[in-house]
Structure 1
Amino acid sequence: MHPLSRTRRWAALASLCLAVSLIVIDGTVLHLAIPSLSEALRPSSTQVLWIADVYGFVLGGLLITAGNAGDRFGRKRVLLAGVTAFGLASLATAYAPSPELLIAARAVLGVAGATIMPSTLSIIRNIFTDPRERTTAIGLWSSVTTAGAAAGPLLGGALLDNFWWGSVFLINVPVMVLVLIVAAVTLPESRNPAPGPMDVPSVLLSIVGVIGVIYAVKEAAHTGLAHTGVLLAAVVGVAALVAFWRRQTRLAHPLIDVRLFRRRAFSGAVGGDMIAVFALIGTLFFLSLHMQFVLGWTPLQAGLAQLPAMAASTVAALAAGRLARAWSRAVVISLGLGLSAAGLAVLVTLPVESGYPVVLGSLLLIGVGAGLSFTVTADTVIATVPKERAGAASAIAETAYELGAALGIALLGSLLGGLYRQTLRLPAGLGSESAEAARDSIATALQAAADLPARLAAQVVAAASEAFVHAVQLTSLIGGGLVAAVAVLALFTLRGLPTLVDDERPLDPSTPLHTRQGADR
C-alpha cells in the first residue's frame, strides 16, 4: 500500500473513529434502557444480564477470527460489510418483541460488531507508519471511543424521555449510513499479501474457548461454582483455549502468534487493557442503575451525570502518548489503573440519600484512569507485530477490551445482585409473591412496590434502596482491590518497554527488552 497524504490519513482516521463509535454507543445506551426495557418486556434478572452481556460475549468470541478475516480478505471490505450488518441488526434489536428475541438480536449485533473493531485499529496500524503519529492517532481513536460512550447516554436519555426503549438502537442506522459514505471514499484497502490458509479448527476452538470461559465466569458469579452448567462451561472453555494455544504453536500460519504472550510486556499490556475497561464499563453499568432506581432520575439525567467520566477520559487519552514518552509506558499504565482503583474505592462512601458528589468524584478518577491506560496499552499491543498481521494483533487488543467490558458487567453486575439479595431486609406483612419479586432485583422490587399500599410500598422501596447502595459499596471495594493489584503488577510486567516502537522493526517476542533502543529505564 502506497503512503497516504497527511490529509488522507487523518480523513481516514475520522471514518474509523466514526465506525467504532457505533460499537460504543450501542453498549452504553443499553444501560440506560434497562429500566424501561424491563417494564415493557418483563425479563428476569438473569435475562437482563444476558441482554447486557451476550453482545460482548459473541463479539469477544469472534474478534480473533474477524481480525484474521480482515488480514486475509481486505480490512476495508470487512469493515464496510460489518457496518452494514450492524445497522440492519440494530433494526431487528429495536423491534424485538420478547426478552428471548432481544437476546438473539443482540447476539447478531455482536457478530457484526466483531468485524468492525479489529479493522479500525489494524487500518490505523497500516496507514500511520510514524510511531509518534501512530500514538497520537490511537489517542484520538481512544478519545472518540470515550466520546461515543458519552454520546450514547445523552442520545439514549433524550430518546427514552420521548420514545419507546427500542428507539435507542435506531440511532445506529444514520451513523451506519454516514460511515459507509465516508469510509468508502477515504479508506485505502490493505491486506496480508501472503496470509496462508485459514485454519477452521482454530476458528472453532477460539470461539468455543472464549465464550465458554466468559459464560462460566458470569454464571459462577450468579449461581455459584457448584452449578453443573458452570463447571461444564468452564471445563469446555478452558480445554478449547488450551487446544487452541497448542495448535497455534504448530501451525505455519496461526490465527495469532502466541509467542507474543511469552513476553511479560505484551501480556501485561493486554491484561492492563482488559482491567481498565473492566473498571470503567462495570462501574458505569451499576451507577446507571443507582441513579435511575435509587435516585429516581430520568435516563437523560443519568446520561448527563455520566458525562464527566467521558470528558475526563477523552482529555486523558489525548495526553497519554506525551506522558508515556516523558514518564514511560509502565508508569502511565500503572497510574491509570491506580486512578481507576481509587475511583472505585470512593464509592465505598456512597450514601443512600443523593450521593452525586461521591459519584462524580468516582467517575472523574475512573475516566482519567481508563483514558490513560487504554490508549497506551492499545498502542503497545498493535506495535508488536508487522503491518501484515495488524488485524490479528488488533483482534487481541479488542478481545481484551470486549472481555473486560463483558466481565465488568457480568462479574460486578452479578456480584452486585448477589450482595443485594443477601442484605435486603423486607418489612413484615409482605406477601410471598411480592417478596420474591423484591428479592430478584431492585427493578422488580420497585415494580412490586407500585402495586402495594402506600405505607408498605414506601418501606419496600426504602429497604431495596438501602440494600442496593450497600451492595454498590461492597462491590466497589472488591473491584477496586482487584484493579489496584493489577496496577502494582503493571509496574513490573511493563518495565523496560520502549517508549517508541519503530514501525519497520516491531517488537520481537524472542528479543530481550534490554537490547531494544529507547527502552524505558
Structure 2
Amino acid sequence: MNHTSSPAPPRAGRREWCALGVLMLPVLLIAVDSTVLGFAVPMISSALRPTGTQLLWMVDIYMFVLAGLLVTMGTLGDRIGRRRLLLVGAAGFGAASVLAGYAPTAEVLIVARALLGVFGATLMPSTLSLLRTIFLDRRQRTLAIAIWATMFSGGAALGPVVGGWLLEHFWWGSVFLINLPVMAALLVGGRLLLPEYRDPAPGPFDLLSAGMSLATVLPVVYGIKLAASEGLGAAPVASVLLGLAVGALFVRRQLRARHPMLDLRLFADREFSTALSANLMSVFALTGCMFFITQYLQLVLGVSPMRAGLWLLPGILASIAAGLLSVALVRRLPVRVLVPAGMFAATAGFLVMTQLPATGTPLLLVIAFALVGAGVGLAETLTNDVIMASAPPERAGAASAISETAYELGGALGTAVLGSLVVGVYQSALAPAPGLPPAALAEARETLGGAHAVADGLAPAAGEALRQAAGTAFTGAIHITALVGAVVVGYAALQTLVLLRRAARAAEARRAERPRAAGDAEPRAGAPL
C-alpha cells in the first residue's frame, strides 16, 4: 500500500529572517522598559517623593495592565490584522513614553505607565503569533523562538547599561525616551517586511469579555499590594475575592461562547497548560528579584547606576546563552528534564541570595543572579516553543496572547508578591534612629530611596547612621524574600517535573494506540517531551 507523504513546509529565507529582526524590536523594548525603571527608582523616589505603595504601582501597573489586556489584544489582532495592531501599538507606545518621561508627579507617572501597558499589550501577541505564521518549518521555528525569547534577556541586559548611563548624565525621565528610536524603526521595518495575517472567520468581538479579563487581574493585584502595606484585613481579602469571582464568570462565559475570546480548549492539552505555568513561574523568579537587587546594588552597596548594570550583565548573558543553547540541548535531552532543571537552577540562585551581605562587593549577587538568569533563559525558551507548537495556525494569536499573558502576569506577580514582601519586611525592620523626628522616620520607612533622601537632610553622622540602618534592614528583607522565592519556585519546579513526565507518558500511549502512517502530518510539538 503506497502512502503519499505530505509536502515539507517551506523554509524561511532572507526576508523572513529580516522580519524576525523587526519582531525582536518590540520584545527588546518591552524588556528594556520593564528593567530600566528599577534603576531609576532611587532618582524617582528623590524627585517625586512617592509613597511605598505608589512606588510599587509605578513599577508593576505597566505589567498588570499589559497582562490584563493581552488576551483581548491577541484576539483583536486575529480580527483586524496582527501587523496592523502591532504598528498602531508602536505609535501609541511612543506617545505614552513621552508622557512618562516628563511626568511631573507620581500620579501622572503611574497613569503613563498604565498607558504603556495598554499599548504594550498590542505589541506582544502580534510578535509571537507572526513568528508562527512566518516560520513554518519546525526546526527553523524553534530557533526563531529561541532568538525571540533571548531578546527579553537582551533587553534586560541593555536596560541597566543604557539606563545607567542615562541616569548618570540626564534626569530620570530619559530612561523612557529611549523607546522613541526603537518605535520609529519598528514602524518603518514593520510596514516593509512583515506580512499581514488575520483569522478568516474570527467571530464577533466580545467587549464584555475584554472588560472582564482586566477586571479579573487588577483587583487581585490590588489586594496583594494592600495586604503588603496594611496587613491582611477585610479590604485586601475582599479585593482578591472580587477578582477571583469576576475570573470565574469570565471562564464560564468563555466555555459557553460560540466564539470565545480565550480558547480554553487549549488548556485541555496537558503539554500546553504545564508549559504555560512553568513559563509564568520562571518569569516570576526573574522579575521578582530584579525589583530588589537593583536597589540593593545602588542604595545598600553604593554602586553607581552604570556599574550596577554592568554587575548584572553576567546573569543576563547567562540567560541569553542558556536560551540559545536550549536549541541544541533539546536534541539530546527531553523537555521534561530541561525545563525543571532550569527552574531548579533559579531556585538555587534564590538560596544564594539569602546570604547577601549588607556591605562588601556584589560578587555573591552576581553568582546568584547568574543562576536565576540561566535557569529562566532555559525554561522560558523551551516552554514558549511547546506553547506555540501546541496551537493550530488559526489560533496562533490566541495562543501567543495566552503565552504573553503568562509572561507578563508572572512578571507582575513577581514584583507584586516579592516586591511587596521585601518592602513590608523592610518597613517593619527599620528601627527608630536617635534624634530622628517621627515624620522623617515615616518617610524613611516608605522606601529605601526615601530613607536616603531623609539622610541627605540630616547631619553627616546622623545621616550615615540612618543609611546603614536602612541598608541592614533592606538586606534582611531580601534574605526573607529570597527564601520565600526559593520555596515558591522550587515547588513549581517539582510540579513541572511531575506533570511533564505524565504528559510524556500520555503522548507515548497515544502514539502506541495509533501508529503514524507515512502520509500523516509530523507531530505538533517543536521539541520532544
Answering whether residue 509 of structure 2 is matched by residue 514 of structure 1, we say yes
Q: Which residue of 427, 440, 448 maps to 2:454?
A: 448
Give secondary structure in 2 for the equivalent of 1:327. coil
Q: Which residue of 378, 381, 390 maps to 2:384?
A: 378
Aligned AA (2:202): P
Q: Provide, for residues 424-464 of structure 1, a one-character-per-residue CA deviation record: whole Å limited to 9, x for no partner.
A: 23333322122222222221111111122222222211111
Q: State the distance in 2 between where 1:335 and 1:44 align.
A: 39
Q: Provide, for residues 61-97 of structure 1, a one-character-per-residue CA deviation record: whole Å limited to 9, x for no partner.
A: 1000000011111111111111111111111110111
Give secondary structure in 2 for the equivalent of 1:325. coil
Aligned AA (1:514): A
Aligned AA (1:30): L
Q: State the Cα distance separating 1:379 from its structure 2 match.
A: 1.2
Answering whether residue 473 of structure 2 is matched by residue 467 of structure 1, we say yes
Q: Which residue of 248, 266, 272 maps to 1:266?
A: 272
1:481 alignment counterpart: 487
TM-score, length-scaled by structure 2: 0.93
Give secondary structure in 1 for the equivalent of 2:354. helix
Q: Which residue of 195, 198, 214 maps to 2:221?
A: 214
- 1:386/1:498 CA distance change after superposition, 3 Å: farther
Unaligned runs of 5+ in 1: 500-510
Q: Provide, for residues 450-506 of structure 1, a one-character-per-residue CA deviation record: whole Å limited to 9, x for no partner.
A: 12222222221111111111111111011011101111111111125579xxxxxxx
Q: Between Structure 1 and Structure 2, how many residues are aligned? A: 508
Give secondary structure in 2 for the equivalent of 1:354. coil
Q: State the distance in 2 between where 1:73 and 1:101 align.
A: 31
Aligned AA (1:78): L
Deviates most, 456-465 or 209-218? 209-218
Q: State the distance in 1 between where 2:433 and 2:227 align.
A: 30
Q: State the distance in 2 between where 1:4 and 1:97 align.
A: 51
Answering whether residue 441 of structure 2 is matched by residue 435 of structure 1, we say yes
Q: Provide, for residues 396-432 of structure 1, a one-character-per-residue CA deviation record: whole Å limited to 9, x for no partner.
A: 1101110111111111111001111222233333221
Q: State the Cα distance separating 1:12 from its structure 2 match.
A: 0.8
Q: Which residue of 410, 415, 423 maps to 2:421?
A: 415
Q: Which residue of 341, 349, 356 maps to 1:350?
A: 356
Q: Provide, for residues 383-407 of structure 1, a one-character-per-residue CA deviation record: whole Å limited to 9, x for no partner.
A: 2211111111101110111011111
Q: State the distance in 1 between where 2:361 and 2:483 align.
A: 17
Aligned AA (1:515): R
Contact 2:12 2:137 in 1 (8 A): no
Q: State the distance in 2 between where 1:175 and 1:288 align.
A: 24
Q: State the Cα distance separating 1:115 from its structure 2 match.
A: 0.3
Q: Which residue of 25, 32, 40 maps to 2:39?
A: 32
Answering whether residue 28 of structure 2 is matched by residue 21 of structure 1, we say yes
Contact 1:57 1:403 in 2 (8 A): yes
1:194 alignment counterpart: 201
Q: State the Cα distance separating 1:108 from its structure 2 match.
A: 0.6
Equivalences for residues 219-234 of structure 1 within 5 A = 219-228=226-235, 230-234=236-240
Q: Provide, for residues 112-157 of structure 1, a one-character-per-residue CA deviation record: whole Å limited to 9, x for no partner.
A: 0000001100001111112221111110001122111111111111
- 1:208/1:513 CA distance change after superposition, 3 Å: farther
Q: State the distance in 2 between where 1:328 and 1:3 align.
A: 26
Q: State the Cα distance separating 1:267 from its structure 2 match.
A: 1.9
Contact 2:217 2:243 in 1 (8 A): yes
Equivalences for residues 4-403 of structure 1 within 5 A = 5-228=12-235, 230-403=236-409
Unaligned runs of 5+ in 2: 1-8, 517-522
Aligned AA (1:139): A
Contact 1:220 1:227 in 2 (8 A): no
Q: Provide, for residues 41-60 of structure 1, a one-character-per-residue CA deviation record: whole Å limited to 9, x for no partner.
A: 11111111110011001100
Q: State the distance in 1 between where 2:12 and 2:465 align.
A: 66
Aligned AA (1:38): S
Q: State the distance in 1 between where 2:509 and 2:134 align.
A: 29
Q: State the distance in 2 between where 1:512 and 1:252 align.
A: 29
Give the percent of matched residue pairs that are identical in Structure 1 and Structure 2.
Answer: 45
Q: State the distance in 2 between where 1:92 and 1:448 align.
A: 28
Q: State the distance in 1 between where 2:509 and 2:138 align.
A: 19
Q: State the distance in 1 between where 2:11 and 2:72 align.
A: 28
Q: State the distance in 2 between where 1:222 and 1:327 align.
A: 45
- For the aligned residue pairs, the C-alpha RMSD in angstroms reads 1.8
Aligned AA (1:420): Y
4+ runs deviating over 4 angstroms? 2-5, 496-499, 516-521
Q: State the Cα distance separating 1:182 from its structure 2 match.
A: 1.2
Contact 2:271 2:390 in 1 (8 A): no
Contact 2:86 2:126 in 1 (8 A): yes
